[in-house]
Structure 1
Amino acid sequence: MLSDRQITSRRLLLVAAGMSLLGTAAGCRAPWNDGEGRVEAGVDEIALPVMPAGAEGAPGAAPAASASAAPPVAASAAPSATAAPSVVPVRKVLTEAETKPVYELDAARKVVALTIDDGPDPRHTPTVLALLQQYGIRATFFLIGESAVEHPALVREIADHGHHIANHTWTHPDLRSLSATKVRDELVRTSDLLQKTTGRQPTWFRAPGGDWSPESLKVAADLGMRNMAWSVDPRDWSRPGTSAIIDTVLKDVRPGSIVLNHDGGGDRSQTVAALKAYLPVLVDSGYLFTAPPN
């Protein structure tokens, strides 16, 4: 069994290796900009694994890469989450390729995108945030509007931790069964609320259940949002058991995976327990975690 000192040294070596690898590849295509069903993770979007403050070999009293503070990209790309801008945000005009759902990242590097759906939830979201901060992981939270409006302080906390805030509709319906007008209302209401709450205009959207409709793709594009799917689904929403969630993630994850988990929509204690178990395994296996820039 490895000692604490050996584990610490190993993680620090992984950080150094990750920096070297990503620095070499930083001149590649723009991050999160591939329209062929994959997106490339760039160095600016990756939160490297860090050790808790005070750990042997850890820098100072607070790790520089800690998820408790927004990384440089988030700080420069978005205003403070505590004050909404007074002007209407400029929404990006997407290419046709960028309107297609993205299912995986570039598999050339050992990166994973962790995505958290159906929150915010006052029972489970704070625990998830603390866990992500412990490992210096930056994730993407797909928030439901009717939950976000009930817990605005929690939405701001997610944003203030540097995580990416994304649109997951207002009521979590099956978009394929809705009229064009109702689909637009679901997405517009949620984007407007998240903009007012965090000062950040959502730039990514996920259809509930991954069930996109032609209208939802059109509305998302009109709002300047790309569509993020996933490649690893432990079906944690069905509460299959903590061991089943862990086994599925560790069996299916590979470089470039987008992992789906949930912090809302019901009892997510199994998901939280699974995250506590599989995140350190992925970190110690050399995986780095990525999210789009805010």
Structure 2
Amino acid sequence: MPKKVAFLGLGAMGRRMATRLVGAGHELVVWNRTDSAATVLAAAGAAVAASPRDAARGAEIVFSMLRDDEASAAVWDDAQAGALAEMAGDAVAVECSTLSLARVAFLAGRCAEHDVAFIHAPVAGSRPQAEAGNLIFLAGGDMSELDRLRPLLEHMGRVRHAGPAGGGAALKLAVNTLFATQVAAMAEIVAMLEATGCDPESALAILGDMPVASAAANAAAAAMQAGNFTPQFPIELVAKDLAYMHAAAPHAPLAKACRAVFADASARGLGHENLTAIVKLFRAAHT
């Protein structure tokens, strides 16, 4: 068991993941840009650092769970306060954020410059899965380093090795693109059924039994029908991830179209709602 673990970023996902580590008895030092989330972890037994660099000092393993490329750069790379400036050669940097392929490649290079091992382990799952320890880590990096981390990761979920560091990044963008396109397609279908006079509940029950249906699409349809838009995967973050997908595959037309839909929804004030709220755009188009 590592003597000291650091966790950087205590947003909706990071806070729940760090809580799992504290609950498993690990000595944890946490940092967050704002104090409120760190206070909750302190009450659970974690130490609170003033900066990412302070949190990383003496840590064998440093996790981060951050919003985007810019947040990742600020937390790891900053010459004064960044975590890498303080990490020793036997430490492992574990970036769990969903990032662009370019950012992951850059961070891998920065870790190599500091002689620090690097694992990129973005997660499949949302807040309920993080709280229950049921995330799926799409871990890219050296298998021997991943084995060092496995006991920690398994407190938070299951581990799938995705090849080198960039493999996890590409796979996570693929997962989120597949999810977003299914939800957008279901939103179009729900709005069409409602507008054409069908009984949506009956029609969706039949559709859900078809071989073409998926668990994700069925759950999205149920949430749309129930008006449940409580954020689990907010639209603004879907739009961010689809922008990273577009950067990785600029000539992929379906991903490009899906990105435009979610970007439009975010611009119309729906960014903080769950991605199922995309149905509001299509319902409005039928009025």
Fold shared per TM-score above 0.5 = no
Normalising by structure 2, we get a TM-score of: 0.28
More helix by share: 2
- What is the TM-score when the length of structure 1 is the normalising length? 0.28
Q: Which has the larger radius of gyration?
A: 2
- More relative contact order, 1 or 2 (CA 8 Å, 6+ apart): 1
